[in-house]
Amino acid sequence: MKSNLFYITLTALLLTGGCADSRLNTTLTIPKIDTPLSNPFIGWAPWTCGDAGKYAACQPHTLIFSLIDWRVFEPEEGVFDAAALKRSMYYDVWAAARVKFVIRPALDYPGGTAGNPDMYIPRWLYDKMMAEEGSAGVYYQNGYGTGFSPNYESKILQGAHKAFISKLGEVFDKDPNIAFIELGSVGHWGEWHTNFTEGVPKMPVSSVTDIYAKAYADAFPDKKLLMRRPFQIAKDNQMGLYDDSFMRDTATWLQWISAGYVDQATGETQPAMPGFWREGPSGGEIATGDKAAVLADPQACVSLIGKCHTSFIGPSSLTDNLSASGLEAAGAVRDAMGYRLRVDSVLVTRDNNSASLTANWVNDGVAPFYYAWPIELEFVSENGSIINKQKTDWDIRDIMPGRPAPMKAGLDMALFGEKNVTVKVSVLDPDSGKPGVNLAEAYSDGAGGYALFRIADGKASLPG
């Protein structure tokens, strides 16, 4: 690269007509593309299993869902077995496939059979609660299924749960293979409600449930957390929300979010959380009985995804056993979720002393990108060699739907003395250090980099 200051200054003067204070502004519009994109943190999140190819034939996915079984993780009090937990999640299968987990601990799962309820807390904990407190909860058999609802007001349960979630944070908070954490723990399926109309005790008041929620906030400072519906602690901690009756009860869920609500179980008023999705993801699952309705009218689901700013749907999802028409419908729903990022235009500004690039980012999706993955510029010579790489201070989380985000970076003046330089942009996966996000724009290099413009003879132009 020519770096002689006299040469660069002389070249700049010649190209700008010799005027010492002249300025060259070039605006270039980059074509967008409309093809489906597969990207991290968005789309379907089906149930974890031991076959990394199970769902791919029907629907591509970059997320997988796993319930966290406390009994497996802590078989004895204070003895945690992360290896056994990961085996139960098929962790190695999906980590090797670069598919990230959405996880939810559950303390109550109505999955037992008549006369054989399934208790989802460890046996040692049940025995300790019975011995020291005289009660551990109630077994139930009702319209939800058969299971065991623990006594959430138990001090023993609260202390043990805090230790459980804290240790889970030690294992997974820094793990790049974990995408999001759903706050389960309370209620059937970890959905923060109980079937009290059929004899199961009501949910406790917020002063009690906050103990369970705070355990997550303390244990997972680096992960995005989601609660089942708005609570004050969710609002205070900028959590996301998940709707596990997507399509069926979404109108009510949206009403809670926009206006707040009175909790039927406790009589407490919970706050509205409009705009929660700007800080925390919106997720949920399609109610099992509603899958056929979604496939029959996918645009109704797409419309709700827009209103909810949904990033992912699962574990109940549209990822297997689909007909040809079902594939198309499920694809339309999948493609509506999450972010869709691109650079709409670039402004290249140069005078005698400095040069800069302003990239006008656009998000054509319904949700932002939630983690601070770095955005890098790469400068490539005519023969394909890399002249330089420059990590920007651009924050990908600021690229919101419906709101252009201009981002500026300085350029080396010496670039304008080169014969032919291509400037590329890419979003790097911090785990691999390689480009990790597909952008919805032209001039892809096929490896996650996107040409923004070319500098030739001191002028900027589109790469094509």
Pair (148, 100) in one structural domain: yes
Asked whether the predicted pLDDT for residue 8 surpasses 50, the reply is no
Pair (366, 256) in one structural domain: no
Give the pLDDT mean for 305-311. 98
Asked whether the predicted pLDDT for residue 21 surpasses 90, the reply is no
Instruction: Name residue 407's beta-bridge partners.
Output: 359
Sequence-ordered list of residues with C-beta below 8 angstroms from that of 256, at least 6 positions apart, any chain: 229, 230, 270, 272
What is this structure's pTM?
0.92
pLDDT of residue 353: 87
- How far is Cα 68 from Cα 111, in angstroms, rounded to an integer? 15
Percent of the chain with pLDDT over 90: 85
Give the pLDDT mean for 140-154. 93
Select from 277, 309, 336 the last residue of a domain. Answer: 336
pLDDT of residue 321: 87
Pair (209, 223) in one structural domain: yes
pLDDT of residue 124: 98
Pair (22, 87) in one structural domain: no
Select from 309, 336, 363 the last residue of a domain. Answer: 336
- In one-letter notation, the amino acid at residue 122 is P
Beta strand ranges found along 290-427 (DSSP E): 312-313, 341-350, 355-363, 375-381, 386-391, 405-411, 420-427
Pair (291, 426) in one structural domain: no
Give the pLDDT mean for 89-114. 94
- How far is Cα 85 from Cα 69, in angstroms, rounded to an integer? 7
Pair (12, 94) in one structural domain: no
Phi, psi values for residue 296, rounded to 5°: -75, -30
Give the pLDDT mean for 54-74. 96
- In one-letter notation, the amino acid at residue 142 is N
Burial 25-57 (b: 16+ CB within 10 A, else e): eeebebeeeeeebebbbbbbbbbbeeebebbee
Pair (323, 421) in one structural domain: no
319-324: long-range contacts, CB 8 A cutoff, minimum separation 24: 319/44, 319/46, 319/55, 319/58, 319/59, 319/61, 320/46, 320/54, 320/55, 320/58, 320/59, 321/58, 322/58, 322/59, 322/295
In three-state secondary structure terms, 342 is: strand
CATH number of the domain within which 209 lies? 3.20.20
Give the pLDDT mean for 33-57. 96
Choose among 33, 284, 68: nearest CA to 172. 68
- For 207-259, the pLDDT digits (tens) are 999 999 999 999 999 999 999 999 999 999 999 999 999 989 999 999 999 99
Give the pLDDT mean for 164-175. 98
pLDDT of residue 111: 85
pLDDT of residue 416: 86
Pair (108, 27) in one structural domain: no
- Residue numbers of the domain that contains 401: 5-36+340-461
Cβ atoms within 10 Å of 10's Cβ, excluding its own: 13
Pair (246, 302) in one structural domain: yes
pLDDT of residue 28: 97
pLDDT of residue 351: 87
- The structure tokens listed for 43 are 């789309």
Sequence-ordered list of residues with C-beta below 8 angstroms from that of 5, at least 6 positions apart, any chain: none
Choose among 41, 55, 51, 47: nearest CA to 331. 55
Number of domains in the chain: 2
Give the pLDDT mean for 27-53. 97
Pair (10, 65) in one structural domain: no
pLDDT of residue 19: 39
pLDDT grade for 23, boundaries at 50, 70 and 90: low
pLDDT grade for 89, boundaries at 50, 70 and 90: very high
pLDDT of residue 457: 86
CB-CB contact of 441 with 363 (8 Å):
no
What distance lies between CA 26 and its chain's CA centroid? Answer: 36
pLDDT of residue 264: 92
- How far is Cα 263 from Cα 194, in angstroms, rounded to an integer? 12
Select from 273, 307, 336 the last residue of a domain. Answer: 336
- How far is Cα 377 from Cα 398, in angstroms, rounded to an integer? 18
Asked whether the predicted pLDDT for residue 20 surpasses 70, the reply is no
In three-state secondary structure terms, 378 is: strand
- For 386-400, the pLDDT digits (tens) are 999 999 999 999 999
Give residue for tokens 């923004």. Answer: 452
CB-CB contact of 105 with 184 (8 Å):
yes
Phi, psi values for residue 212, rounded to 5°: -70, -40
Pair (315, 406) in one structural domain: no
CATH number of the domain within which 379 lies? 2.60.40
Mean of pLDDT over the chain: 92
Give the pLDDT mean for 6-19. 32
Pair (286, 430) in one structural domain: no
- How far is Cα 267 from Cα 264, in angstroms, rounded to an integer? 6
Measure the CA dihedral 149/147/160/165, to 10°.
-110
CB-CB contact of 73 with 85 (8 Å):
yes
Total residue length of the chain: 464
Percent of the chain with pLDDT over 70: 95
CB-CB contact of 183 with 239 (8 Å):
yes
Cβ atoms within 10 Å of 5's Cβ, excluding its own: 9
Give residue for tokens 């065991």. Answer: 148
In three-state secondary structure terms, 6 is: helix
Asked whether the predicted pLDDT for residue 6 surpasses 70, the reply is no
